Structures are given as C-alpha cells and as structure tokens.
Amino acid sequence: MKIENTVFSLPLNRQESWLKAIAGAFAERLGQNRYPLRFSIVDLTAEQVLIESTILTFDSQHRYAKTLSSIEILEPRQKTFQARPFGVVQIIPTGIRCEFGGFAGDATPVTNLLAAAADFLVTHPNAVNASELNEMASNILYVEGKSLDDFLLGHLGLLPTQSNRVGTFIDPTGVAYLDDVVNTLNAARAVKGIDCSLYMILERELGVKIEWSQSGCAVGTIVDPEAILEAVELLIARGVNAVGGVSVIHGVTHEMFSRHLRGEIPNPSGGVEAIITHLISKIFKLPTAHAPLPYYQSLKEKTTLNPRASAEFISTPHYFCVLKGLSRAPRLLSIPELNSVPAHLITLNNIGAIIVPASCLGGIPALVAEFSGIPLIAVTENQTILNVSNARMRMTNVNEVSSYPEAVGVVVALREGISLESLRRPIRSAQQVDRMV
C-alpha cells in the first residue's frame, strides 16, 4: 500500500450537478487499484476544475482489494424524501485554516448552537475535539469525516448507541509518552465510565509526515499504512467496536507552529490525522478518531494571547476528547439503498440542511447537497484559505449567511417547513404555468 497526495486538473463540462459532471473524468484519471481517501475541488476556471486528492494505491491481490475497489463518490445515491427526525450536518474542514474550527475545539459553541435548532446534528471530530475537552451537545452524532462523506453519499446508515468499547493503537515512536496515554485511558474509565481498557503499541512506526498541498492546505502521508490495518484487526478481534489512535506526526517546525498560533496558516497536523482515520473508516466501517502525541512539545511556545488555541496547552496526549466522542459515536452500517431502510437507522433522508464555510464549497458534503437538492447553508464569516465560493460554483441550492446565528434561523425555518422565500422581501407573485403543447 502507498499513500500520496495528487492534484487532478479536469475539464469543466458542467451540464448537470457538479458530482455527476466530474465523476467520469475523475474515474478515468484515477486508474485501477487506486482509492481516493480525500477529495475536494480547490480551484476552478472557466475551462478547468482543480481537485486535490489523497490516493491509496494497492495491489490487486491485497486482502482488502475488493473493499477498496468500491468508490462511493462514483456511485452517489440521491436523497428520496425528508424523513423524521430532522437532522443537519455541520462541516468544519480540517487543514484549511477555518476561522471557526481552525484550532482545537473552537467550533464547539457554534456546533452546539446549530444542534439546538435541530432534532440532531451530525459532525466530525475536527469540529468538537479539544485535547482534554469534548463539550458537544447530547444530540450530536460524532462521525469521522470519511464515514460522514459516505453517509451523505447514501452508502451508510447511522445507528445511535448508548456506548462503545473503544480500543487504542499507539505509534511506537511516541512510546516515551505511554504513561500519559495509559493515564488518560484509566482516567476516562474511572471518572467518565468509558469502556476503553484495551490498547496496543504498533509493531512498526507509522511514519506519519505532514505535507502542504499546492493550494496551501495541510495534508500529509503515512509510510506504513499496513501497520494501522494490522492493529485495528487485532483490536476488533478483542471485541472493540470503535478505534482511537495516537501517533507521532513528523515535519512540524517551530515556525509552522508559531504561524498557526497567529492564525496565518492551517494547523500543520490536522490533514494527515484525517488521512489516518479515513483509511480506518473505509476498510473497517468503525467509529474512529485520532490525536497527535506531543512530538513537538519543545516547539510549542505557550501563549494566552489566542484563546482559540488554549486547549492545545492543557494536555499531553490530547486524547480524552477522542475517547469521549467515540464512547457514544453511532455505529456505521452499510445500506443497499435509501428507499427501504430500518426505521431505527438515520440516513441521508433525515438530513434537511448542510452547513459549511462559504469559501469551501468543493468538498463532498457541498457537492452532495447540490446533487440531492439539500439546502446548503454557506457561512461567510468562517473564512478559510480557499476561494471556492458560490460566486464561482453557481449552485442553486445555496443559502449564504453572514454568521452562525443567522444560519440557525435558516435551520429553524427548514425544520418547521417554512419557505425561506416567505422570510425575505420582496416576495414574487405566484406564477402561472402554461400548458405544454
């Protein structure tokens, strides 16, 4: 197995939804025995679309070759009706320096606010993880980013659960911090009552390294992804149904971390952490999340000048937030279609809105929203390093708002079945439809 970051430049021939327009060209460029762990439009012109993707290349005889040969983004399923309960999805992409969510857990207040306006809210760990803190509301479903994409593509259902048995893998490069990790596990058991007694140290170092993409996003690669698969297989054999990991992430410099603290660049380690969990999600369909071991503790210049970064400094393994999230994360179940699923499963049909930063409408959640006709709420004050706005994407389902409190108003209207058109002025008069000749 090999993981690498790639840029695809595809011709722009958009006569249908973005998802359909680029799927064929992307599949042709992707080739055989390659799976996209990460996928996003990061720029576009009148003639071309620029896509950044993290590609997993595998041998045709690999034990997971059949699983990896199924590429969900090439087979999207459309939402068929609005089911109850009414849910929304909150997306805070990692690695793009979000103004809300670019630091550890600082998007939690706006995420909880949005959750208060819906029956439930689905989000990914990046939105609420904050070292020792995870203060997400009780009606939030904690779903890893790749699994969340597959849920929105109509391939997964979510099964809310009371608790999970969480297993942990530890990168041997950080074995000097083993006591900190084990103390976190034991504290979670003794204080919070989380079932997380099993951990294992990987036999080989993962070789987790940061990289920067062409667009300036924080991404990365893993030298030995097989070590992760072997660890998760062993933990599953011991009865766990959720997996967390802590790894040493190489390549962060003092200058990078200082610039991140000042809000000048994305968190250097966020993107590669997502790649680790995307791999686990795809292969095993388990709740999963990751935390960085304090590999650059000597690089961290502690400061109280940026409250959004404060959670970075109150923990050594940054792992309790992961345990708390995974302890009641929903189980992930493959579904054959959206029209007939068990009533106890939450599916794409329950999602009434997707909320994203207004400058990054090229990710799978935004593309799915257009494909399925789901209102896409684009928040302009959550600025990022990207410029993939609706002024460039020209999608008809976008409701642009200036702030998260304004987004809440849109969610409430959608939940109550109030036409957004009726809340704005002027209101156009009813239109007569002519008979077709």
Res 420 pLDDT > 80: yes
Picking from 284, 96, 126, 293, the residue whose alpha carbon sits closest to that of residue 206 is: 293
| Residue 367: predicted pLDDT | 97
Picking from 398, 347, 359, the residue whose alpha carbon sits closest to that of residue 375 is: 398
Instruction: pLDDT band for 293, please (50, 70, 90 cuts).
Output: confident
Q: Give the tens place of pLDDT for each residue, 198-221.
A: 999 999 999 999 999 999 999 999
- Assigned token pair, 316: 């050594």
Distance of CA 350 to the CA centre of its chain: 18
Instruction: pLDDT band for 301, please (50, 70, 90 cuts).
Output: low
Q: Give the tens place of pLDDT for each residue, 25-72.
A: 999 999 999 999 999 999 998 889 999 999 999 999 999 999 999 999
The CA-atom distances, in angstroms, between 356 and each of 30, 90, 364, 366 are 27, 7, 11, 7
| Residue 340: predicted pLDDT | 84
Q: Is 86 helix (H, G, I), strand (E, B) or coil?
A: coil
Average pLDDT, the chain: 94
Instruction: pLDDT band for 317, please (50, 70, 90 cuts).
Output: confident
Q: What is the pTM of this model?
A: 0.95
| Residue 255: predicted pLDDT | 87
Instruction: pLDDT band for 85, please (50, 70, 90 cuts).
Output: very high
Q: Give the tens place of pLDDT for each residue, 98-145.
A: 999 999 899 999 999 999 999 999 999 999 999 889 999 999 999 999
The CA-atom distances, in angstroms, between 330 and each of 109, 198, 297 are 21, 20, 33
Our CA angle for 393, 357, 10, nearest 5°, is: 35
